[in-house]
Amino acid sequence: MSDSAINILRWVLLVSVVLNILQATVLYTFFERRIFQPWVAFNARRGAKVPASMRDERVRRFWPWFMAVALLALWWYFGTPTGMAFLHNAAR
């Protein structure tokens, strides 16, 4: 993988971190009202069982924060010499 491709990957990861933080804070109510609650209601009408973890609001609130931290760790790792070497070798 070229250095420019690694830079693009790192930018995509950083944008994903920002979007996850926005989803966990400012956009949480919008996502909850427009996406999750209708999805749970739709599955309940169909008789499908939604896992308890997906119905738990604490999990839905925690997940974007977890993903933001995980993606930030990847962004940092791919910026280190070890991470760059890993990506260079992975593309072969």
Which residues, in sequence order, are CB contacts of 79 under 8 Å at separation 6+?
10
**Which residues span the domain enclosing 86?**
3-90
CA 49 – CA 30 distance, rounded (Å):
24
Q: Are 31 and 19 in contact (CB under 8 A)?
A: no
* Confidence band for 39, pLDDT divided at 50, 70 and 90: confident
- High-pLDDT (> 90) share of the chain, %: 55
The yes-or-no verdict on residue 76 having pLDDT over 90 is yes
Task: With a cut of 80, say whether residue 79 has pLDDT above it.
Answer: yes
In the chain, the number of structural domains is: 1
